[in-house]
Amino acid sequence: MPSNELNPPHPVKVEIFGQSYLIRPEDGEVTRTQALAAKVDQHMRDIARGAATADSLKIAILAALHIADELDKANERYEALNRRIAERSAECADVLDQALKNQR
């Protein structure tokens, strides 16, 4: 049984775009939750500075799109790095196999 079921995480108060929210971090990582909230807040403030609207819902949606774009790009980089690691591992395995064959 996960420890969170026995000891549910305590709510963390965060402020995003002038609104306070109580959030229960599932992983119990308060500092991480606060940092994520600060990131969302900063995205919303950046967008609000350049937006023609003061509608917080529209600003939140634009912030969500920006964050989703960042995540998608990070996932693409992650996948490219994994492919490169797999390629290099195969190359190293081939070199090792060749070296072992040459020793016999």
The pLDDT value given to residue 1:
42
The pLDDT value given to residue 40:
97
Query: Which of 5-14, 50-59, 67-76 tops mean pLDDT?
Result: 67-76
Long-range contacts of 10-17 (CB under 8 A, 24+ apart): 14/38, 15/41, 16/40, 16/41, 16/44, 17/41, 17/44, 17/45, 17/48, 17/56, 17/59, 17/60
- Overall pTM > 0.85: no
How many domains does the chain divide into?
1
Q: Tell me which residue range forms the domain holding 45.
A: 3-103
Query: Regarding predicted confidence, which is higher, 54 or 13?
Result: 13
The pLDDT value given to residue 28:
86
